[in-house]
Amino acid sequence: MSESPALAAARLHCRSLEQALVRLRTDGLGRLTDWGGRLAAVLPAGGRLLAAGNGGSAAQAQHLTAELVGRYRQERPAFSAISLHAETSSLTAIGNDYGFDQVYARQVAAHGRPGDVLVLLSTSGRSANLIGAAVAGRRAGLRVWALTGPAPNPLAEAAHEALCVDADSTATVQEAHLVAVHLLCAGFDAALGTEAAVRERATVTGRVS
Protein backbone atom coordinates (compact mmCIF):
# COMPACT_ATOMS: atom_id res chain seq x y z
CA MET A 1 0.00 0.00 0.00
CA SER A 2 1.46 3.37 -1.03
CA GLU A 3 2.09 6.12 1.49
CA SER A 4 -0.49 8.89 1.69
CA PRO A 5 0.47 12.37 0.43
CA ALA A 6 -0.04 13.79 3.92
CA LEU A 7 2.33 11.27 5.51
CA ALA A 8 4.89 11.81 2.75
CA ALA A 9 4.72 15.57 3.35
CA ALA A 10 5.15 15.03 7.10
CA ARG A 11 8.22 12.86 6.52
CA LEU A 12 9.70 15.47 4.19
CA HIS A 13 9.10 18.20 6.78
CA CYS A 14 10.83 16.20 9.51
CA ARG A 15 13.74 15.35 7.21
CA SER A 16 14.17 19.03 6.34
CA LEU A 17 14.21 19.99 10.01
CA GLU A 18 16.67 17.23 10.88
CA GLN A 19 19.04 18.45 8.18
CA ALA A 20 18.72 22.06 9.31
CA LEU A 21 19.48 21.12 12.92
CA VAL A 22 22.55 19.15 11.88
CA ARG A 23 23.84 22.26 10.11
CA LEU A 24 22.90 24.42 13.11
CA ARG A 25 24.82 22.11 15.43
CA THR A 26 27.84 22.18 13.14
CA ASP A 27 27.89 25.87 12.25
CA GLY A 28 25.91 27.67 14.96
CA LEU A 29 26.70 26.33 18.42
CA GLY A 30 29.86 28.35 18.84
CA ARG A 31 28.20 31.58 17.80
CA LEU A 32 25.13 31.07 19.99
CA THR A 33 27.27 30.17 23.00
CA ASP A 34 29.35 33.29 22.38
CA TRP A 35 26.23 35.43 22.10
CA GLY A 36 24.93 33.99 25.38
CA GLY A 37 28.18 34.83 27.12
CA ARG A 38 28.23 38.36 25.80
CA LEU A 39 24.61 38.88 26.77
CA ALA A 40 25.49 37.71 30.29
CA ALA A 41 27.96 40.58 30.47
CA VAL A 42 25.46 43.19 29.20
CA LEU A 43 22.19 42.51 31.02
CA PRO A 44 23.39 42.19 34.64
CA ALA A 45 25.27 45.47 34.18
CA GLY A 46 22.00 47.28 33.44
CA GLY A 47 21.93 46.81 29.66
CA ARG A 48 18.87 45.83 27.68
CA LEU A 49 17.96 43.41 24.93
CA LEU A 50 15.55 44.57 22.23
CA ALA A 51 14.05 42.03 19.85
CA ALA A 52 11.80 42.15 16.80
CA GLY A 53 10.41 40.07 13.96
CA ASN A 54 7.38 39.80 11.71
CA GLY A 55 4.68 37.14 11.85
CA GLY A 56 6.02 33.87 13.22
CA SER A 57 9.39 35.50 13.78
CA ALA A 58 7.69 38.05 16.04
CA ALA A 59 6.50 35.14 18.16
CA GLN A 60 10.08 33.83 18.30
CA ALA A 61 11.35 37.26 19.36
CA GLN A 62 8.76 37.41 22.13
CA HIS A 63 9.71 33.90 23.21
CA LEU A 64 13.29 35.10 23.67
CA THR A 65 12.38 38.14 25.74
CA ALA A 66 10.02 36.09 27.90
CA GLU A 67 12.84 33.69 28.78
CA LEU A 68 14.99 36.62 29.94
CA VAL A 69 12.37 38.59 31.85
CA GLY A 70 11.09 35.35 33.37
CA ARG A 71 13.53 32.46 33.39
CA TYR A 72 14.78 29.74 31.09
CA ARG A 73 15.68 26.83 33.38
CA GLN A 74 17.27 28.03 36.57
CA GLU A 75 16.05 30.64 39.02
CA ARG A 76 17.76 33.99 38.48
CA PRO A 77 17.02 37.73 38.52
CA ALA A 78 14.76 39.30 35.91
CA PHE A 79 16.56 41.10 33.10
CA SER A 80 15.43 43.88 30.78
CA ALA A 81 14.25 42.49 27.44
CA ILE A 82 11.58 44.07 25.21
CA SER A 83 9.80 42.71 22.13
CA LEU A 84 9.18 45.75 19.98
CA HIS A 85 6.23 44.28 18.08
CA ALA A 86 4.37 43.83 21.37
CA GLU A 87 4.26 47.61 21.88
CA THR A 88 0.99 47.76 19.96
CA SER A 89 0.13 51.43 20.47
CA SER A 90 3.63 52.54 19.47
CA LEU A 91 3.67 50.08 16.58
CA THR A 92 0.38 51.27 15.11
CA ALA A 93 1.07 54.96 15.73
CA ILE A 94 4.47 54.76 14.04
CA GLY A 95 3.07 52.68 11.20
CA ASN A 96 0.28 55.19 10.67
CA ASP A 97 2.45 58.31 10.91
CA TYR A 98 5.77 57.18 9.44
CA GLY A 99 5.06 53.96 7.52
CA PHE A 100 5.48 50.27 8.34
CA ASP A 101 9.16 50.33 7.39
CA GLN A 102 9.81 52.56 10.43
CA VAL A 103 7.88 50.65 13.12
CA TYR A 104 11.01 49.11 14.63
CA ALA A 105 13.68 51.66 13.74
CA ARG A 106 11.92 54.42 15.66
CA GLN A 107 11.48 52.21 18.73
CA VAL A 108 15.14 51.23 18.61
CA ALA A 109 16.05 54.92 18.52
CA ALA A 110 13.78 55.51 21.53
CA HIS A 111 14.73 52.57 23.75
CA GLY A 112 18.23 51.53 22.68
CA ARG A 113 21.35 52.72 24.44
CA PRO A 114 25.00 52.22 23.53
CA GLY A 115 26.07 48.73 24.53
CA ASP A 116 22.55 47.25 24.41
CA VAL A 117 21.83 44.25 22.18
CA LEU A 118 19.29 44.14 19.34
CA VAL A 119 18.19 40.71 18.07
CA LEU A 120 16.28 40.63 14.77
CA LEU A 121 14.62 37.50 13.40
CA SER A 122 13.57 37.02 9.78
CA THR A 123 13.09 33.90 7.69
CA SER A 124 13.80 35.79 4.47
CA GLY A 125 16.29 38.35 5.75
CA ARG A 126 14.66 40.88 3.45
CA SER A 127 12.08 42.65 5.63
CA ALA A 128 12.57 46.39 5.22
CA ASN A 129 11.41 47.22 8.75
CA LEU A 130 14.01 44.87 10.26
CA ILE A 131 16.79 46.14 8.02
CA GLY A 132 15.84 49.66 9.08
CA ALA A 133 15.99 48.57 12.71
CA ALA A 134 19.48 47.15 12.18
CA VAL A 135 20.65 50.43 10.68
CA ALA A 136 19.08 52.41 13.54
CA GLY A 137 20.61 50.06 16.10
CA ARG A 138 24.10 50.43 14.72
CA ARG A 139 23.67 54.20 14.56
CA ALA A 140 22.64 54.24 18.25
CA GLY A 141 25.58 52.10 19.36
CA LEU A 142 23.73 48.82 19.93
CA ARG A 143 25.21 45.45 19.04
CA VAL A 144 22.99 43.97 16.31
CA TRP A 145 22.55 40.22 15.91
CA ALA A 146 20.35 38.61 13.26
CA LEU A 147 18.74 35.18 12.98
CA THR A 148 17.76 34.66 9.34
CA GLY A 149 17.09 32.12 6.66
CA PRO A 150 19.66 31.23 3.99
CA ALA A 151 22.54 33.60 3.28
CA PRO A 152 23.28 35.91 1.66
CA ASN A 153 20.53 38.32 2.59
CA PRO A 154 20.31 42.07 3.37
CA LEU A 155 19.52 41.71 7.08
CA ALA A 156 22.56 39.52 7.70
CA GLU A 157 24.67 42.11 5.93
CA ALA A 158 23.15 44.98 7.95
CA ALA A 159 23.77 43.27 11.31
CA HIS A 160 27.09 43.07 13.10
CA GLU A 161 26.73 39.29 13.25
CA ALA A 162 24.23 36.80 11.87
CA LEU A 163 23.28 33.16 12.17
CA CYS A 164 21.74 32.08 8.87
CA VAL A 165 19.72 28.85 8.81
CA ASP A 166 20.15 27.02 5.53
CA ALA A 167 16.71 25.56 4.84
CA ASP A 168 14.23 25.74 1.97
CA SER A 169 10.98 26.29 3.86
CA THR A 170 9.85 29.12 6.12
CA ALA A 171 8.52 26.63 8.66
CA THR A 172 11.86 24.85 8.95
CA VAL A 173 13.74 28.13 9.40
CA GLN A 174 11.33 29.21 12.15
CA GLU A 175 11.63 25.88 13.94
CA ALA A 176 15.42 26.07 13.80
CA HIS A 177 15.24 29.63 15.10
CA LEU A 178 13.33 28.41 18.15
CA VAL A 179 16.13 25.94 18.87
CA ALA A 180 18.63 28.78 18.40
CA VAL A 181 16.69 30.94 20.88
CA HIS A 182 16.84 28.16 23.47
CA LEU A 183 20.56 27.61 22.85
CA LEU A 184 21.17 31.33 23.29
CA CYS A 185 19.28 31.25 26.59
CA ALA A 186 21.21 28.16 27.72
CA GLY A 187 24.47 29.92 26.90
CA PHE A 188 23.30 33.00 28.80
CA ASP A 189 22.38 31.00 31.90
CA ALA A 190 25.64 29.05 31.78
CA ALA A 191 27.74 32.20 31.47
CA LEU A 192 25.70 33.92 34.17
CA GLY A 193 26.33 31.02 36.52
CA THR A 194 30.04 31.15 35.80
CA GLU A 195 30.20 34.88 36.47
CA ALA A 196 28.26 34.43 39.73
CA ALA A 197 30.63 31.68 40.82
CA VAL A 198 33.65 33.88 40.10
CA ARG A 199 32.16 36.75 42.14
CA GLU A 200 31.33 34.41 45.02
CA ARG A 201 34.86 33.01 45.09
CA ALA A 202 36.27 36.53 44.99
CA THR A 203 34.09 37.56 47.93
CA VAL A 204 35.16 34.54 50.00
CA THR A 205 38.85 35.14 49.34
CA GLY A 206 38.54 38.91 49.78
CA ARG A 207 39.45 39.70 46.20
CA VAL A 208 36.46 41.70 45.04
CA SER A 209 36.94 43.86 41.96
Q: Where are the domains of the chain?
A: 15-205
Q: Is the peptide bond before 150 cis (omega within 30 degrees of 0)?
A: no
Question: Can you say whether the dihedral through the CA atoms of 171, 175, 180, 185 is positive or negative?
Answer: positive
- DSSP, collapsed to helix, strand or coil, labels residue 122 as strand
The pTM of the full predicted model, rounded to 2 decimals, is: 0.89
Work out the angle at residue 66's Cα, subtended by the Cα atoms of residues 107 and 39, and round it to the nearest 5 degrees.
75
Which pLDDT score is estimated for 179? 96
pLDDT in tens, the chain (209 residues): 678 989 988 998 899 899 999 999 998 999 999 999 999 999 999 999 999 999 999 999 999 999 999 999 888 999 999 999 999 999 999 999 999 999 999 999 999 999 999 999 999 999 999 999 999 999 999 999 999 999 999 999 999 999 999 998 999 999 999 999 999 999 999 999 865 544 544 554 555 44
Q: What is the pLDDT of residue 198?
A: 45
Tell me 84's DSSP state: G
CATH number of 15-205: 3.40.50.10490
- Do residues 164 and 125 lie in contact, with contact meaning Cβ atoms separated by under 8 Å? yes
